[in-house]
Amino acid sequence: MAVMSQRVAGFGTTIFADINALAAKHGAVNLGQGAPDFDGPPQVLAAAVTAVNGALNQYAPGIGMAPVRQAIAQHAERFYQQRLNPDTDVLVTSGATEAMFAAILGLADAGDEVIVFEPVYDTYVPNLIMAGVTPRYVALRGEDWSFDPDELAKAFNRRTKAIVVNTPHNPTGKVFSRAELRVIAELCQKHDVIAITDEVYEHILYDHASHVRLATLPGMAERTLTISSLGKTFSVTGWKIGWAVGAAPLVHAVNQAHQFITFAVSSPLQAAAATALNLPFSFFDNLQSSYQARRDRLLPVLRAAGFKVFKPQGSYFIMIDWRGVAPSYVEDDMQFARWLIEAVGVACIPASPFYQDCDKQLGKYFARFAVCKKDETLDAAAERFAKLGKL
């Protein structure tokens, strides 16, 4: 009996699981998966404990607990002057991951097309495939990972239902500029297309880069669904509390799917999310400066190791080109990641899993390092890299 459905049979194992297993086996310093090796703010952790002890342990309302929806709406107003009705325009989900899948299921029909930028975060395309939706890829290229506006314009057609925009971007660290977002906004309006944005790294920005929320551009409020989550901003990636916000009809459509996927999301962690989102501006400022310091600690290490570095403007990540660093028998990014773990003792994520099969060669010389690590972890990686010249 063929047990596996055809829908999922073509999926490999997520690269994060593969690299974590290999890194553990070889005792490598793990700069692969984007998960902090430090804890979130103590008052946020305490709020979760208080909620567990305070009998907040039964099902939450499917759309999310009222104080959390209010906190999400207030956060949007505080940072982006985006006005949201917490009762109709906010949905709490099991992380940004579920928000994206529920959005695709709730907004696109089988046979529709959805545009994604490549390299593309690894869950979107499997989500589209499971929904019977066809992905259309538009390349991000060059030093600043920019897209060709003509190529983007050509990707829109009668079947296009939505475009997914991830900014700050995983894996490249690109932050889409206001001008780039304007181009996207104009095309969405011209072709009557929905924008789904993934803004999980909205507060992790470098060198005074600013994050622009596509939903706040003229004409975009009614056609943009904004997704974000608690994990990155509050260093609690294991909590899986996320949200989708936007005009009521969009959010209602997403909830149509959400109610039959998870029904509701962890109550005590939602309660703690309200505490987190209401933290003062100083918390968010400190977060940025601590990430700036982490990135600035790792950048020179990677450069000294001989890598060509793509300086990120945001996100947890630094992309590099590894040519000239690995021995000549290393032919692609997958072999490079394996070699780096086994011979140097540092784990990274190869870039090709972020490319579709026919474009894998575009990611062949790239790999991604995570900066969301303690100083001592980054320094341990630096020590291992110092061995490079002597291998």
> Contacts with ligand GLN: how many residues (CB under 6 A)?
5
Closer Cβ to ligand GLN, 16 or 339, answer by number: 16
Residue window 32-51: x/- pattern of binding to ligand GLN, with contact defined by CB under 6 A: -xx-----------------
**Crossing angle of helices 66-80/267-277, nearest 10°?**
30
Query: Within 10 A of 39 (CB to CB), how many other CB atoms are there?
Result: 11
Q: Is 89 in the site for ligand PMP (CB under 6 A)?
A: no
166 binds, among ligand PMP, ligand GLN, none (CB under 5 to 8 A by kind): ligand PMP
At 2, the amino acid letter reads A
Report the alpha-carbon distance of residue 231 to residue 47 in Å, rounded.
15
Q: Is 33 in the site for ligand PMP (CB under 6 A)?
A: no
119 binds, among ligand GLN, ligand PMP, none (CB under 5 to 8 A by kind): none
Tokens 């690269």 correspond to 15
| Nearest in space to 40 (alpha carbons), one of 298, 269, 315, 211 | 269
Closer Cβ to ligand GLN, 34 or 363, answer by number: 34
Residue from 18, 113, 180, 198 binding ligand PMP (CB under 6 A): 198
Closer Cβ to ligand GLN, 33 or 70, answer by number: 33
Query: Shortest approach of ligand GLN to residue 217 CB, angstroms?
Result: 26
Residue from 30, 70, 82, 97 binding ligand PMP (CB under 6 A): 97
For 347, phi then psi, to 5°, come to -105, 140
240 binds, among ligand PMP, ligand GLN, none (CB under 5 to 8 A by kind): ligand PMP
Residue from 14, 50, 88, 146 binding ligand GLN (CB under 6 A): 14
Closer Cβ to ligand PMP, 121 or 145, answer by number: 121
Q: How far is CA 15 from CA 96, 347, 350, in A?
A: 18, 12, 8
Q: Is 345 in the site for ligand PMP (CB under 6 A)?
A: no
Query: Shortest approach of ligand PMP to residue 354 CB, angstroms?
Result: 10
Report the alpha-carbon distance of residue 149 to residue 55 in Å, rounded.
53
**Crossing angle of helices 95-107/248-258, nearest 10°?**
100
Q: Are strands 317-321 and 308-310 parallel, antiparallel or unpaired?
A: antiparallel
Query: Shortest approach of ligand PMP to residue 389 CB, angstroms?
Result: 33
Residue from 96, 114, 138, 175 binding ligand PMP (CB under 6 A): 96
Query: Shortest approach of ligand PMP to residue 334 CB, angstroms?
Result: 20
Taking CB under 6 A as the criterion, which residues in 201-240 touch ligand PMP? 229, 231, 237, 240
Query: Shortest approach of ligand PMP to residue 316 CB, angstroms?
Result: 7
The residue nearest ligand GLN at its CB is 34
Tokens 């998870």 correspond to 262
Tokens 């309660």 correspond to 271
DSSP H helices, 108-241, are 124-130, 149-155, 178-191
The contacts of residue 382 (CB under 8 Å, 6+ apart) are 301
Q: Is 95 in the site for ligand PMP (CB under 6 A)?
A: yes
Burial pattern 253-271, b for ≥16 Cβ within 10 A else e, equals: bbbebbeeebebbbbbbbb
- Under a CB-based contact definition with an 8 Å cutoff, are residues 180 and 146 in contact? yes
The contacts of residue 383 (CB under 8 Å, 6+ apart) are none
Q: Is 377 in the site for ligand GLN (CB under 6 A)?
A: no
| Nearest in space to 18 (alpha carbons), one of 4, 32, 38, 6 | 32
Residue from 70, 94, 170, 275 binding ligand GLN (CB under 6 A): 170
Closer Cβ to ligand GLN, 126 or 149, answer by number: 126
Query: Shortest approach of ligand GLN to residue 53 CB, angstroms?
Result: 30
* Helix or strand holding residue 318 (H, E): strand 317-321
Closer Cβ to ligand PMP, 95 or 345, answer by number: 95
Tokens 């600043």 correspond to 144
List interacting residues with ligand GLN (CB under 6 A): 14, 16, 33-34, 170
**Binding site residues, ligand PMP, CB under 6 A:** 34, 95-97, 121, 166, 170, 198, 200, 229, 231, 237, 240, 242
